[in-house]
Structure 1
Amino acid sequence: MSPMTEVEGRRLSLSNLEKVLYPATGTTKGEVLHYVATTAGALLAHVHDRPMSFLRFPDGVEGERFFAKNPPPGKPAWVRTVEVPRSEGVTARQVLVSDLSSLMWAANLVVEFHVPQWRAASPGVADRMVLDLDPGEPATVVECCEVALWLRGRLAADGLDAWVKTSGSKGLHVLVPVEPTPSERVSAYAKALAVEAEAALPALVTHRMKRALRAGKVFVDFSQNSASKTTAAPYTLRARNEPTVSTPVTWEEVADAGRGPGSLAFLMQDIAARLERYGDLLGPLLNPNRAGALPRA
């Protein structure tokens, strides 16, 4: 029998709490669920009203993993869903994780949380832009920090504020709150920034995905601004060797990253202290007054 618990008046069956999901650290499913529960306030704020996709790894990071947009089998009736466009004339339903009980139900499935740059009420109309900085070996997050700082300055020249988080993998995500703007236009602007970054920093940046071009460089991936794409949510755990978290960081930490790649790697046990020290560093993303208008093409 799986233990039952009650969350906000909903009864949940939480299963296999002793299962080790991260063999390198011995981290169990119970510990993962505890992390999600204690980080829920910050996590929920950034996935609110955004259709959820899940990267599932139910048997741990060494087992099978699969990406799912459709509501998982066995979804309780009380977990909200919303109809979203998938392609021309085709819609489908996706989960909205909007409260603690839904969050814990999803976390029990062992998932990474991924969301688009738009909200359910306005599909394909972005309220934020993301630039995913992905280092090609031997480049590391240190090179990503140099690129992020350049992008911050370039965005400021267009009147746009930027915030930053680790991807929870190897790189960084630069996040920009924007006035509601069609995803196609945000994508075009993001691509123009990536091309400009490559022109300004040719030894350091590529805007093209081709693997052969990426060795030792930072790929500035603008594609996640497409209406059909998603990005790992702030504070989500990642299916990596260790329980890494996509963690908001300060620009001062980015500027100090010359201390080495490990200075911007955070595990789930690091997050509570960071929230206590800094609060939610991405809180300004949620303030519509911080949203900027994209420059005219």
Structure 2
Amino acid sequence: MASERITLTLPGGRELSLSSPNRVVYPQLGVTKRELAEYVVTVAEPFLRANGHRPISLERFPDAVDGESFFSKNPPKGTPDYVDQVMCTYNSGRRHPQVVLNEPAAIAWAVQMNTVVFHPWASLADNTDNPVELRIDLDPQPGTDFSDAAAVAPVLREVLREAGLEPWLKTSGNRGLHVFCPIEPTHEFLDVRHAVIAAGRELERRMPDRVTTAWWKEERGERVFIDFNQANRDRTMAGAYSPRALPAGTVATPITWEELEAGVDPTAFTVRTVPQRLDEIGDPWEHLQASPGRVDTLLDWWQRDLDAGLGEMPFPPEFPKMPGEPPRVQPSRAKKD
């Protein structure tokens, strides 16, 4: 028996055939696939400003968000011609095309393909090797929460401004905070990762009891982790205005520093509330890319730390062994060995 289908008329006059429009994607809220498609079309302008024109990975859920999922990077068979693609090189040396979303119909198509979470690269399609954003993930560890990340963020802002960068904020859609700095695409991913490590180490010096750059979980304690490996090539985080696959239907949402100071509640930003928020206050990230900075000062700090004996940090396990990288073995096991 064929599944129920409806036709959505999208901005620009395109039409999209949406299958199973009444399938519930968020059981706790009752949000259907149709409602999710309507959400992404409603927020398409700020969504594309933040996530368009770049490689993007699609996190797809064939059933509900509490079910199984998988990541999709290659454009699947039958992808319409209004969904763009770009050839990407990965850390393994492999190359293959990746989806690029450049218009509202393309985002709605992704929802038709059961996408819930959108994971954009930090680089653009016209130069996939050099990021246009320095991204720092403030990741609360067990025993800490969003309020701890919110307390750390203003000090990180001071650090980044001292390095000549202007930080912008968004909620992760979960417990953390994401800090983005627009940068000129003058350096490749490994350099930008080193810049993130340098900023993280400087923040850790200023807040040693609240911040850690320790890669191994057993060493982090009840602190906010600076997840520097999110700055690697092909490592992504949920994009601005992307829904998260969480029961409450939360959205990774750009916020202002004033909102953070006033005590923002990240659980208030959902697929049902964010459209009204945009109507009322607009997009806090509208001008994010207006004045990109440079990572030169942070790379000077990286070299300073190298000269002081602080070396390379561990890479994720799926990465090839990198120059100068310490052994990939957790400290407690290394001691036993």
Q: Is 1:158 aligned to residue 149 of structure 2? A: no
Match of 1:63 in 2: 67
CA contact (8 A) 2:41 2:105 kept: no
Calculate the TM-score normalised by the size of structure 2: 0.82
Question: Using CA pairs below 8 Å that are at least 6 residues apart, which structure has the higher relative contact order?
Answer: 1
Percent of matched pairs sharing the same residue: 35
Asked if the contact 1:131/1:174 (under 8 Å) is kept, the reply is yes
- 2:316 paired residue number: none
Please give the secondary structure, in 2, of the residue aligned with 1:284.
coil
Give the 3-state SS of the residue equivalent to 2:273 in structure 1.
Answer: helix
Residue 186 of structure 1 pairs with residue 192 of structure 2 = yes
Specify the code of the residue in structure 2 equivalent to 1:145: A
- 1:83/1:93 contact within 8 Å kept: yes
- 1:268 equivalent in structure 2: 271
Does the 8 Å CA contact 1:123/1:227 hold for their aligned counterparts? no
Q: Tell me, which stretches of 5 or more residues in structure 2 are unaligned?
A: 301-337
Residue-by-residue CA offset, 1:166-206 (whole Å, 9 max, x unaligned):
00111000000111122221110101111222222121111
TM-score, normalised to structure 1, is 0.92
The answer (yes or no) to whether the contact 1:139–1:215 under 8 Å persists in 2 is no
| 1:97 corresponding residue in structure 2 | 101
**Preserved CA contact (<8 Å) 2:90 2:233:** no
Pairs aligned (count): 291
- Structure 1: give runs of 5+ residues left out of the alignment: none
Partner of 2:118: 113
- CA separation in 1, counterparts of 2:285 and 2:184? 17
Superposed CA deviations along residues 195-230 of structure 1, whole A, max 9, x for unmatched, are 222222121111123222334211111212212222
| Match of residue 216, structure 2, among 210, 215, 222 | 210
Paired position in structure 1 for 2:255: 249
State the match for 1:283 in structure 2.
Answer: 286
Match of 1:21 among 25, 28, 31: 25
Q: Which letter does structure 2 place at the counterpart of 1:61?
A: V
Q: CA RMSD in A?
A: 1.7
Contact kept, 8 Å, 1:140 with 1:171, in 2: the verdict is yes
Give the whole-Å Cα distance in 1 for the aligned partners of 2:89 and 2:249.
Answer: 33
Q: Answer 1 or 2: which has greater strand percent.
A: 1
> What displacement does 1:155 show?
0.7
Shift in Å at residue 240 of structure 1?
Answer: 0.8
Q: Partners in 2 of 1:77 and 1:276 — Cα distance? A: 31
CA distance in 2, matches of 1:58, 1:248: 28
Residue pair 2:174, 2:266 contacting (<8 A) in 1 also: no
**Which protein is bigger by CA-based radius of gyration?**
2
**Alignment of 1:5 onto 2:11:** no
